Structure 1
Amino acid sequence: MAALAYAVLHHRSSPIDRAARSDRRARFIVTSLVVATAVIIAGLTVASFYTTRLIDGIGEPEMTVVVRGEQWWWRVTYLQDGQSAFQTANEIHIPVGTRVRLQLESADVVHSFWVPSLAGKQDLVPGRTNTLTIHADRPGVYRGQCAEFCGLQHSHMALLVMADDEASYRRWYASQLAESLVPDQPELARGKAAFLRKPCAACHRVRGTTADGTTGPDLTHVGSRGTIGAGLFDRTRGTLAAWIADPQTLKPGNNMPAVPLTSDELRSVSAYLESLK
């Protein structure tokens, strides 16, 4: 509107005078905009730098969790004395009132960790480790999402942060340290045998069994998780069976191949995985 008013009210003059003034005005405008842009960007950069460090500097984190982005899911490793205690996938449990440092890594491309109710975004860059501190004031489930386009299934790369009270968190942590349950029903025993006999065991780990794969998520306690496929479905026996039967239809491009199973094997394997609480 200011530019329009200036154009309407500006007095007429000769073409030569107008050309000279226009040239000076153009140089002044361009120079002013360049300087203003540089000052604004520099100011925001400095403010972001100090604000980020101010936020991260409020108290030393009391625990560290390694979060590794993969196409298209989150590998979550809990540390004990600097070593891996156990792994889970697409869920992070934290105690309420505790500052948790997330050690962010990527296995393939650039991902971005974002749980908007707990912290800002932070990129996961291949070959580099970034950190982000999160803190929950009250119990609840906080949804997160990969915020950097990372390929075909980018929109299906969600995660959940579960903030538990101290007692609940300790119970959950102790249950995750335990090895997988020994099947106590014939169907579950058949499912375990089929799981170990098929290629499943080459890609997935189930502690307490001979399955020791590292390519896919650790399934030791998969039955205790709320979702599968990085938030694609609620975890039920039916969705587990559907995923095992045809993962490429449900989430095209993911790294899990279709495993040939008979209908009886599929039922027993899905029942076995559902029992791994």
Structure 2
Amino acid sequence: MELTQRITSHAVQPKLSPLQKVRNVIAVGSGKGGVGKSTTAVNLALALAADGAKVGVLDADIYGPSVPMMLGISGRPDSPDGKSIEPMRAHGVETMSIGFLVEQDTPMIWRGPMATSALSQLLNDTRWSDLDYLVVDLPPGTGDIQLTLAQKIPVAGAVIVTTPQDIATLDAKKALKMFEKVEVPVLGLIENMAVHVCSNCGHAEHVFGEGGGQRMASQYDVPLLGSLPLERAIREQGDAGVPVVLAQPDSAAAKAYRDAARQIAVHLAMRPRVTPSISASLL
């Protein structure tokens, strides 16, 4: 007997239904930039894929797309019918980003409605395969893109990325409260850059403070899904287009990402499921 797992769709915002080919959209957000949100989103997606899930990554940062570089992808996507576009693929995941459609050094000088329209097109016009999870890497803040995500895109759960220092958790709290106000369930927090271990002597140092993520999780009664280290390899491998989860799968950093990804999957699985409609016909 062979045992297989099937990841089901989970409840999304009221008045919205899960996408046809994407069972669960997971939004990864932060209140401010510079906390490693995109690096975290990409490594979490790869960790979910390594556990056997079918995963995609949507780069929703219209003004500063970074997912193409992190996944080591260049070139432009194909459009078989002139209307829809094929997702780009790398390391076993599908991905789409505005970065594939414009030159690398071209600034997106767009007002909010143009950026939100671009996000909707990237999501809806991409020919995603049958995905268990679509990880959406949001831009920092609580602006137009996040509002569009909440109102028009069915999100099964959100993950907030922060660093331990008080100024970062202050902004992360705003992101968490925003998701609550728009009825997107918050699966939990991820504390990035929690500790640095010296590669020479092994001394552990909390460069950005200690315990900020846990205090915030306790204050708002949400799970702390994981604490990720501050390591040079994480940055180097992201710049090289082979994230650390793949490049150094036995490292402590890769293990931390895998543990966090599994916590996300567990807490999402605890959410209400979407009951599929069943039709029967007589033959």
For the criterion TM > 0.5, the same-fold answer is no
TM-score by length of 1: 0.26
Name whichever structure is richer in helix by fraction: 1
The normalised TM-score by structure 2 is 0.25
Bigger relative CO (Cα 8 Å, ≥ 6 apart):
2
